[in-house]
Chain A
Amino acid sequence: MVGLAISLLLLGSAPPAICTAPPDYYQITLVPTRRVPTARLARGTARLTYADSPFGIAVSARGHYRYNVEVVVENLRPVPGGEFVAWMATPDLKQAVRMGPVTDNVRGRTEWNKFLVFITLEPLSQPPAARWQGPVVMRGLSRSGLMHTMAGHGPYEQEPCAVYGYY
């Protein structure tokens, strides 16, 4: 079993006796892709909390939310010769960041508007690469990624999507 611990999402040494969970609403559920048989029963979450900030909310100079991302996975059974690595990427995959091996709780930071969090199976023998080589084992999309055009939906049902570049 790898990375089975559910961590308290607390920084520092003395967690308070009473704590609330990070905002469930923006948590990213990681879903197995079924491409790796030992991972079919895996479950996982990428939890978002605001980066440290004197303002309560954390935003960049351009107005992006700044998130701490923590990946927590259960039931991801090890594969000989391979290791599970967590990544974050923009939805078009043009930008990607290697968060690290899923040996414990993997943490990262992002300020992308919409992003993917995913886990791949990488060959153990090779040094860490900038892009993944192995199959995607689990994946999830930030809640913001669910936001899509209203053309063709609801009150805009008659609005032709193609006019706005959607097909």
Chain B
Amino acid sequence: MPATAADSVVWRMPPMDMSMPMMPGLEDALPPVPPALPDQQAMGIPAARPSAVVPLADGDTLQLEATLVRRQIGDRTFVMYGYNQQYPGPLLRVTRGSTVVVVFRNELEDPTTVHWHGLRLANRFDGVAGLTQAPVAQGESFTYEVYFPDTGIYWYHPHMREDMQQDLGLYGNMLVQPDQDHYYGAVNAEETLLLDDLLLDVHGLLPWGDASPTHALMGRFGNVMLTNGVTDYQLSVPRGAVVRFFLTNVANARTFNVTFGGARIKVLASDVSRYEREVFVESIPIAPAERYVVDVYFEEPGTVAITNAIQAINHFRGEFYPHVDTLGMVTITDEAADPDYGEAFRVPRAYADVTAEVDMLREHFDRPPDKELALTVRVQNLPVPIMMAMEIDTLYVPPMEWNDAMPMMNWLSTGSQVTWIMRDVDTGKENMDIRWEFALGDIVKVRIFNDPKSFHPMNHPVHVHGQRFLVVAMDGVPNRNLVWKDTAVLPVGSTMDLLIEMSNPGDWMAHCHIAEHLSAGMMLGFTVHGADTRP
């Protein structure tokens, strides 16, 4: 039993769109797992503080602790989880090439681990329960050696029951500074933005599933947006400022489409590297676990909203409708930014060193794939009305689920009824029955097809542990501006070709980063054979 008061917690229906009638036959339905929630009446729980920046030099040690914390969400207070009593967890600021020691201690009743997302570190420190380490029980510790081989923005989170532990606040960023000058262009300020959502109703946090997650179909979408753990993120910048934002999506399931109120956005980098060329964009679609580094030019004084702007779907009416969530506010003061980087902002830079690195793999771009995966889903024992609704709904499945348009049906589905599947097309093996074997230095082309003709197709952010990859083609269209990634989103019906550089030996996992899909099976294993020669 995790840190819950399951005896006193009862299921409540998730908040619903009241313009849509309740689906007949589901009025009294409940998910077939007990509800779980941290004890909201627990005494002596410390109030969480905002995230602190922790500069760490090579060889430094950080103590990291997971505990219960009291969190203020809007004008309400909840008992949630936190790293070092902070929201988000401490921001580790390090330099590329360094290694730090993290002594992690778990004070939660739930067993947990820490996964260092995107880092090509030694396999035994990858934090995957059951694969690279045993779960860390309450009162126990685990010492991680965390190596930072690549510049950029990374994040850490549990690799057990992410749907609940991460959602309750266990996440933090790692900002890896370049070890060379002029790596990016000059800017006036830097900000890290961790984007999240939380599902609340009038009574508070909607309980999670105890033994297995609810919301297994689409993942748990929140209805309250959190930026850096708060509902009212604010930033003040001088007029003409160029601000660099390091964005990380830590939500269970939601893909955000981030805009900066019409301010010009230039995208420089993603998960593990810069792009070959910087590109101007109107918005940043960012799927769970992805990161983007963007420069934003706040030219005119005033106030602009950072938003999530989407075309949501009302399945009952069969219509799209525009929907906007406010993620934060930026005030641009009258005072002029000094220095003025406006001119430099207007000129997108090209990164020849990225292209040179990509060029070494270009011979592999067009060859047949080494491995092919099909993504699909199997369901059993779902309530009949849900099966009927899905049947008429599958006339059109959107490429991406931007909103939870069927909160009741989604909530009722658990890991015991839904199995999300990665199927090896050649062998027919599925999920953890897949154990691919590679040698260190292999360049492996993996073609992944997101089958639209399953019971409930959905977009999947595919994450590969311990390695980096290029998305060389999407739907047969070659990608002309490459970037090293560790997570890439595959829309429904689409096919993407990944070129994975097997640069890090060990037993690794690749999986969907929608927390509930992962819990519902959507993962595979692979081994990279070879000696670990890292420093």
Q: Which residues of A contact B (CB under 8 A)?
A: 9-12, 16-26, 49-50, 52-57, 59-65, 113-114, 143-151, 153-156, 158-159, 164
Contact = CB atoms under 8 A, between A and B. Distances in A.
Contacts of A114: 320
Contacts of B407: none
Contacts of A113: 311, 320
Contact of A25 (B21, B323, B493): B493
Interface string B137-181: 000000000000000000000000000000000000000000000
Contacts of A61: 257, 259, 262, 282-283, 309
Interface of A is mostly: loop
A16 B282 contact: no
B309 A20 contact: no
A54 to B, nearest CB: 5
B525 interface: no
Nearest to B322: A62
Contacts of A17: 366-367
Interface string B311-344: 1010111111011000000000000000000000
B251 interface: no
Nearest to A62: B309
B389 A9 contact: no
A150 B367 contact: no
9 contacts: A18-B369, A20-B473, A20-B475, A20-B476, A25-B397, A25-B452, A64-B311, A147-B315, A156-B389
Given A20-B495, A56-B489, A62-B309, A147 B476 contact: no
A63 B322 contact: yes
Given A56-B489, A63-B322, A164-B317, A155 B399 contact: no
B473 A144 contact: no
Nearest to A56: B474
B468 interface: no
A147 B392 CA distance: 9
In the A-B complex, the 3 residue pairs with the smallest Cβ-Cβ separation, listed nearest first, are A16-B366, A25-B493, A23-B493
B318 A156 contact: no
A124 B300 CA distance: 50
B399 A57 contact: yes
Interface in B242-276: 257, 259, 262, 267, 270, 275
Contact of B24 (A18, A57, A146, A156): A156
B134 interface: no
Given A61-B282, A62-B311, A156-B316, 6 more contacts: A17-B367, A50-B474, A59-B283, A61-B257, A63-B257, A150-B316
Interface string B272-286: 000100010111111
B4 interface: no
B23 interface: yes
A150 B476 contact: no
A18 B396 contact: no
B316 A12 contact: no
B475 A50 contact: yes
B392 A57 contact: no
Interface stretch (B91-99, B204-212, B413-421, B480-488): B480-488
Contacts of B270: 54
B402 interface: yes
Contacts of A16: 365-366, 473, 478
B317 A149 contact: yes
A54 B285 CA distance: 10
Given A56-B489, A63-B402, A158 B24 contact: yes
A107 to B, nearest CB: 13
A54 B483 contact: yes
Interface residues of B, number: 72
Contacts of B531: none
Contacts of B471: 56
Contact of B477 (A9, A26, A146): A9
B437 interface: no
Contacts of B355: none
B393 interface: yes
A65 B389 CA distance: 25
B202 to A, nearest CB: 27
B61 interface: no
B395 interface: yes
B451 to A, nearest CB: 9
A61 B491 CA distance: 18
A155 B24 contact: yes
Q: Which of B259, B473, B489, B494 has the most CB of A within 10 A?
A: B494
A26 B399 contact: yes
A66 B374 CA distance: 25
Contacts of B25: 155
A62 B311 CA distance: 7
A18 B366 contact: yes
B309 A18 contact: no
A18 B392 CA distance: 36
A145 B318 CA distance: 9
Nearest to A148: B318
A107 B326 CA distance: 36
Contacts of B368: 18
A65 B447 contact: no
Nearest to B365: A16
B515 interface: no
B225 to A, nearest CB: 15
Contact of B491 (A11, A12, A54, A57): A57
A144 B257 CA distance: 20
Given A56-B488, A63-B257, A146-B396, A151 B477 contact: no
Given A20-B495, A54-B281, A150 B315 contact: yes
Interface string B66-83: 000000000000000000
B147 to A, nearest CB: 28
Contact of B285 (A20, A21, A59): A59
Given A25-B493, A147-B396, A150-B316, A49 B322 contact: no
